[in-house]
Amino acid sequence: MEDLFRRYGASLQRFLTRRGARPDVAADLTQDAFLRLIQAGPAEGIQSREAYLFRIATNLAIDRHRREVDGASSALPLDDQPEPPDLAPSADAALLSREALAVLQRAVDDLPPRGREVFVLHKFEGLSYDEIAGRLGIAKNTVMVHMARSLAHCKRRLDAYRRDHE
């Protein structure tokens, strides 16, 4: 579970933010989604724990939105209440997202060891460049160079994937 949080916690929070949640709400929903996943126990028949996690988070966001709409507009007639937005991606979009995620995972796996280490510390553990420099005993500028190269590598891989799937 810790590995799952390290790998997907930040991206899940960004996912929720892009779908309209305020950053503080997205952080709460992310924690709630992991808590629900833990409470669910061993996942029999679930092919992808990360996809299941994103579905849990989407459902939590929808539930929260409904509660907020119900609380804010309880005086409105039922016909005038707005429909909650559909936060669920289409089946095609979900498939492409999973494939793109796999492309990015392979791109990160293919990075040189130091570049991968810097990338993971920054993107998945949320460390600043200064913190990474201190932890690894290298200059902040070196961290910046590793990040720039790593990001460029991942972007090239993702761009190639998108060109091939247009």
Answer yes or no: do 71 and 6 share one domain.
yes
Burial 51-85 (b: 16+ CB within 10 A, else e): ebbbebbbebbbebbeeeeeeeeeeeeeeeeeeee
Answer yes or no: do 8 and 79 share one domain.
yes
Q: Of 47-51, 75-79, 154-158, which has the strongest mean pLDDT?
A: 154-158
Q: Which of the four pLDDT bands, split at 50, 70 and 90, describes residue 41?
A: low
Report pLDDT digits (tens) over 68-105.
877 655 544 545 545 555 555 556 555 556 777 788 88
**Domain termination residue (choose one: 41, 61, 87):** 87
Segments forming the whole domain that contains residue 138: 89-166
pTM of the predicted structure, to 2 decimals: 0.46
Number of separate domains in the chain? 2
Do residues 12 and 57 touch, judged by C-beta distance below 8 A?
Answer: yes
Average pLDDT, the chain: 80
Answer yes or no: do 164 and 83 share one domain.
no
**Domain termination residue (choose one: 44, 59, 87):** 87
CATH of the domain at 138: 1.10.10.10
Would the pLDDT of 12 be above 70?
Answer: yes
Q: How distant, in Å, are the alpha carbons of 5, 33, 67, 152, 155 from that of 22?
A: 20, 16, 15, 29, 27
Overall average pLDDT of the 13-27 stretch? 87
Would the pLDDT of 110 be above 90?
Answer: yes
Predicted local confidence at residue 138, as pLDDT:
94
Would the pLDDT of 113 be above 90?
Answer: yes
Would the pLDDT of 13 be above 80?
Answer: yes
Residue 126's contacts (CB-CB under 8 Å, 6 or more residues apart) are 10
Can you tell me the distance from the alpha carbon of 39 to that of 36, in angstroms, rounded to the nearest whole number? 5
Answer yes or no: do 96 and 142 share one domain.
yes
